[in-house]
Amino acid sequence: MTHQLMKESRHARTAARHPPSAGPAHQDPPPDTGAPGRRYVIRGGAVMSMDPGVGDFESADVLVEGGTITAIGPGLDAAGAAVIDARGRIVMPGFVDTHHHLFETAERAFLANGLLLDDGSGSPSAYPTYVEHILNGFARAYRPQDVYVNVLFAGLSQLDAGVTTVLDVSQIHHSPEHTDAAVQALIDTGRRAAFGYFEGDGRPEARYPEDARRVREQWFPSDEQLVTMVMGGEVHLGRDVYTRSWTLARELGLRIAAHAVGAFGMRPAFDDLARGAGGVEVGPDNLFIHMTGMSDQAWTMLRDAGAQVSIAFPIEMVMRHGTPPIIKMQELGMEPSLSSDVETTMAADPFTLMRTAMAMQRMVVNERVLAGAGDGDPYPAPSGDTPPLLTVRDVLRYATVNGAGHLGLADRTGTLTPGKQADIVLLDATALNVAPLNSVPGAVVTLMDRGNVETVIVGGRIRKWRGRLLGADLPRLRAELEASRDHLFKETGLRQDLFAYS
Ligand SMILES: [Zn+2]
């Protein structure tokens, strides 16, 4: 044996004893993923399917063909398929965000203290505010090119954080050109999205809600596309508008999303709907956002109608929408999906949403239990009517399965299930902030952040590979976003100052 061969065989033995956990970071992804007929297998990860019929595996494989998951289980026979080594990784469905205003990216953290409205306190939270400075300020200065780069950048950011499906609650339809820019950006992001066609600032050329007919025909001829359409049907726009938008949505076969915020004066309109006096019927095709400060009557009506609710836990608590109505939903036997809402005020990653949901609900329930403490019993048992504490499994379900169901996408995403689309994230459980791995659901909810999101797959296509987002010129897009931001500040007359507004 030559010296050279000895060196090589010694190296091979060493490599066999110490296999790399997931291969070298620079290794390229399998080619043409997501294309018809392309097969690859994700090998040896801890698989959390979120589908009770599939279950969980400490180590298993996920086989993908084209855009679809075809098999899940240990030791799958996948001859001829490319292999993605997932040892040390958690393999689970991509996250679903059921309410995000993607167009507001240029104003990220601008409203870090801000409330919905000026409460007259004169405090740093009363200026600037969401309604005055975002909706009635920056939003009015958006051109179609601003819409495009803001939506695209926000979408890529969420994709990078493992959010493979979003409802873009798009309220920037000042003209058909604005609308087309928003849809194009969602398509160019390369992830699953529902385009929420909401109103703009009311310019006559906008033609909301009637332009929904054109948008449906031109952009959404099929409901099988990666990007689908949802109708915005805001109740606070008045009965004339919402009855038209809801009726049109049902004619076009679209689901309807709408905000429901008591602090915004919407409670009487929802009470009208609950009494059957709203001019339209609430149904299982309605998704209501927030539902803070609503009456028991409105809640019962929603539950009985099979409508859905998206809770934006961090935003509702911080911006004074009201207390996130999770206890009410538990009492009614309902479950929410989760929403990030606005990056003007909070991060839009799923870990922030899940942790905040759990912390808020447990604070309320724990306070209730402790209030029952008596002398000599400082740590009492909960009384019979105490809602159960949320668990990590609960918030994971909210952030995946429930989100998919609330957007009408339960047949294609939200779980790892053979036959569904391959919307998959690989999370690094060997990372400094996670190892040693003792609980898969526990690690995802309590320890992880977007830095652990290593690989992201949408419809079988790899969009992020081992820490690197694919197919996006981020330096160019960031420059365009900064130029958009500069334009928007200039138009609104607000001073750009990195230490003001805080
Ligand atoms: Zn919203």
Calculate the average pLDDT of the chain.
94
The helix or strand, by DSSP H or E, that contains position 286, with its residue range, turns out to be strand 286-292
The CA 19 to ligand 1 mean position distance, Å, reads 47
The CA 306 to ligand 1 mean position distance, Å, reads 21
Mean pLDDT confidence for 81-90 = 98
The CA 98 to ligand 1 mean position distance, Å, reads 10
For residues 42 and 70, the answer to whether their CB atoms sit within 8 Å is no
pLDDT tens-digit profile of 216-230?
999 999 999 999 999
The CA 168 to ligand 1 mean position distance, Å, reads 9
- Give the residue from 337, 338, 381, 354 showing the smallest Cα distance to 450: 354
For residues 213 and 248, the answer to whether their CB atoms sit within 8 Å is yes
Mean pLDDT confidence for 296-320 = 98
For the purposes of burial, counting CB atoms within 10 Å of the CB of 491, is it exposed (0-12), middle (13-18) or buried (19 or more)? middle
The CA 99 to ligand 1 mean position distance, Å, reads 6
Residue 89 has pLDDT above 70, yes or no: yes
Q: What is the identity of the amino acid at 11?
A: H
DSSP-derived secondary structure letter, 227: E
Which pLDDT belongs to residue 367? Answer: 97
With a CB cutoff of 8 Å and minimum separation 6, the contacts of 350 are 95, 97, 161, 162, 163, 338, 399
Q: What is the identity of the amino acid at 35?
A: A
The CA 378 to ligand 1 mean position distance, Å, reads 41
The CA 290 to ligand 1 mean position distance, Å, reads 8
The CA 341 to ligand 1 mean position distance, Å, reads 5
The CA 377 to ligand 1 mean position distance, Å, reads 43
Which pLDDT belongs to residue 20? Answer: 45
Phi, psi of 261 (to 5 degrees): -130, 110
The CA 289 to ligand 1 mean position distance, Å, reads 7
The CA 169 to ligand 1 mean position distance, Å, reads 7
Three-state secondary-structure class, residue 432: coil
The CA 170 to ligand 1 mean position distance, Å, reads 9
The CA 316 to ligand 1 mean position distance, Å, reads 10
The CA 311 to ligand 1 mean position distance, Å, reads 10
Helices and strands (H, E) in the chain, number of each type: 14, 17
The CA 349 to ligand 1 mean position distance, Å, reads 16
The CA 71 to ligand 1 mean position distance, Å, reads 37
Please state, in angstroms and rounded to a whole number, the distance separating the CA atoms of residues 238 and 11. 73
The CA 112 to ligand 1 mean position distance, Å, reads 16
* pLDDT band with cut points at 50, 70 and 90 for residue 27: confident
- pTM, rounded to two decimals: 0.94
pLDDT tens-digit profile of 392-447?
999 999 999 999 999 999 999 999 999 999 999 999 999 999 999 999 999 999 99
pLDDT > 70: what percent of the chain?
95
Omega of the bond prior to 382 within 30 degrees of 0, cis?
no
